[in-house]
């Protein structure tokens, strides 16, 4: 993130900016149903940006078909773009992934991805916006 300022908005401002589904996922740590999001099966090149602040998060080149029903990536564009925290909700221990700039919930990261990282960043379509390459 470097010297980029943290983005802080009121709940009302977030609700005005985001659709109800985007708000539920990004601000209430919700999830969309598997195989229903806009990008779960998308193969177009480009950069996936945070729905909350536009921060570049994942390159489409790092996307792979995990079969889980959500967009899955082997790595973020850069380590500073995301934050990871322990999530013990739903009686599970998972690693939550959020945008470092605006704290929007993106999804979770799991240690069952392909080489080279062995990671699977399982990201909600509602939390990102694909800026397609021209």
In the numeric block, which tokens belong to residue 92? 């599970």
Active site residue 122: yes
Cα 23–Cα 50–Cα 8 angle in degrees, nearest 5: 65
Residue among 50, 53, 99, 122 flagged as catalytic: 122
Q: Please give the Cα distance from 79 to 37 (Å, whole number).
A: 25
Pairing of strands 72-73, 82-87: unpaired
Which of the residues are catalytic? 122
């Amino acid at each position: 993130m470097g010297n980029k300022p943290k983005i802080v908005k009121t709940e009302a401002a977030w609700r005005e900016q985001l659709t109800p589904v985007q708000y539920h996922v990004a601000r209430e740590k919700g999830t969309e149903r598997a195989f229903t999001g806009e990008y779960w099966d998308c193969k177009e090149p480009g950069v996936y940006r945070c729905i909350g602040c536009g921060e570049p998060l994942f390159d489409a080149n790092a996307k792979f078909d995990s079969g889980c029903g959500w967009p899955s990536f082997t790595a973020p564009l850069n380590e500073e773009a995301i934050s990871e925290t322990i999530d013990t909700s739903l009686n599970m221990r998972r690693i939550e992934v959020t945008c470092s700039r605006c704290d929007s919930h993106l999804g979770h990261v799991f240690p069952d991805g392909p080489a080279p990282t062995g990671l699977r960043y399982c990201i909600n379509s509602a939390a990102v916006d694909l800026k397609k390459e021209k």
